[in-house]
């Protein structure tokens, strides 16, 4: 009884985080219609900006260009009237997990040889395992720290560029822009249906949890485990059925496997000028 009761607050927090995720996504739809600079740009210009700067982030291997890109994205986020606390909160958290923590072993001289600036442990003698060499002194190297720092900045810049485009562009316009860039229809369908499936899955999970919570007076450990196991299978069947219903509805409305673009005009002069400015900024960063 006590164990189940102690697990219930954790489950409630998890569902609350899930609900917050769904709510935040709806808020992103609102931010895409704000009167900011990036919101006014054509989606095709923003998708090209995304692709061009992601390539630059991947190509550059020094500190100055990465810092310059980070500063440019910060200025664009400010003039686009985004919530900087929420925006950079997500970027820094994901950058820390998928950038810093993953690259952290590279700072050791076991991975990257170089000048040891912080010894960690000493062995009696160096060891050789096949093609790997373990030195006598294991520590953090200056070259390894540079690698970790650059990789972390790359991840943060890539995330901030992607989030900037996502936060300022409705999902439908992103798909239309990709279609205009000759992205295959199969790829667009996979992205669209996966996007819809995530929200159907999350919303169904929240509804099931709230319904269970509303009918529960006391928590029992055995019943809780049995219920969770049963709901996992039910949730998968329910969301799969819902997605099949959505797809059948698409077929009933004339969908034949081809993504069509309607009411997509030419790129305006302001969009061309803004795109040219971003192109020049990217070329400047590329050659510094």
- The vertex-164 CA angle with 189 and 76, nearest 5°, equals 150
Of 102, 11, 44, nearest in space to 261 by CA: 44
Distance CA 165, CA 214 (A): 39
Residue 26 in this model has a pLDDT that exceeds 60:
no
User: What are the pLDDT digits (tens) for 66-79?
Assistant: 999 999 999 998 88
Distance CA 17, CA 19 (A): 5
Confidence of residue 1 (pLDDT cuts 50, 70, 90): very low
Work out the average pLDDT over 102-121. Answer: 81
| Phi, psi (deg, nearest 5) at residue 173 | -70, -35
Confidence of residue 137 (pLDDT cuts 50, 70, 90): confident
CA 262 to centroid of chain Cα atoms: 29
Of 265, 266, 268, nearest in space to 40 by CA: 268
What pLDDT sits at residue 9? 52
Distance CA 109, CA 140 (A): 6
Which pair of structure tokens corresponds to residue 45?
Answer: 């210009």
Distance CA 244, CA 101 (A): 39
What pLDDT sits at residue 74? 93
Work out the average pLDDT over 260-274. Answer: 76
Between 197 and 42, the more confident residue is 42
What pLDDT sits at residue 71? 92
Work out the average pLDDT over 146-153. Answer: 89
Work out the average pLDDT over 198-219. Answer: 70
The residue extents of the domains of the chain are: 1-31+184-257, 38-170+268-288
Work out the average pLDDT over 84-89. Answer: 86
Q: Please state which of the ranges 92-106, 150-164, 258-272 shows the lowest mean pLDDT.
A: 258-272
Residue 2 in this model has a pLDDT that exceeds 50:
no
Of the ranges 100-109, 152-161, 243-252, the best mean pLDDT one: 152-161
The share of the chain scoring above pLDDT 70, in percent, equals 77
Residue 155 in this model has a pLDDT that exceeds 90:
yes
Confidence of residue 262 (pLDDT cuts 50, 70, 90): low
The share of the chain scoring above pLDDT 90, in percent, equals 10
Of 173, 176, 154, 164, nearest in space to 54 by CA: 154
Of 166, 164, 163, nearest in space to 177 by CA: 166
What pLDDT sits at residue 127? 73
């Amino acid at each position: 009884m006590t164990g189940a009761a102690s697990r219930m607050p954790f489950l409630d927090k998890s569902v609350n985080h899930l609900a917050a995720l769904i709510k935040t996504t709806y808020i992103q739809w609102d931010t895409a219609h704000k009167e900011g600079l990036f919101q006014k740009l054509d989606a095709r210009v923003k998708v090209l900006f995304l692709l061009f700067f992601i390539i630059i982030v991947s190509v550059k291997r020094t500190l100055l260009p990465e810092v310059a890109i980070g500063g440019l994205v910060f200025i664009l986020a400010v003039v686009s009237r985004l919530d900087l606390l929420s925006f950079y909160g997500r970027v820094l958290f994901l950058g820390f997990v998928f950038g810093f923590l993953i690259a952290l072993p590279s700072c050791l001289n076991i991975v990257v040889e170089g000048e040891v600036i912080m010894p960690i442990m000493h062995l009696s003698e160096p060891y050789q395992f096949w093609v790997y060499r373990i030195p006598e002194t294991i520590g953090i190297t200056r070259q390894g720290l540079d690698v970790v720092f650059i990789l972390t900045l790359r991840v943060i810049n890539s995330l901030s560029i992607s989030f900037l485009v996502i936060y300022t562009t409705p999902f439908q316009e992103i798909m239309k822009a990709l279609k205009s860039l000759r992205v295959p229809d199969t790829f667009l369908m996979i992205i669209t249906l996966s996007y819809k499936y995530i929200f159907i899955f999350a919303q169904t999970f929240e509804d099931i949890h709230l319904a269970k919570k509303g009918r529960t007076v006391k928590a029992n450990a055995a019943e809780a485990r049995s219920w969770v196991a049963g709901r996992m299978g039910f949730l998968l069947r329910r969301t799969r059925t819902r997605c099949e219903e959505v797809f059948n509805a698409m077929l009933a409305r004339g969908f034949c496997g081809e993504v069509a673009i309607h009411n997509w005009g030419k790129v305006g002069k302001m969009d061309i000028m803004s795109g040219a400015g971003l192109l020049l900024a990217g070329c400047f960063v590329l050659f510094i």
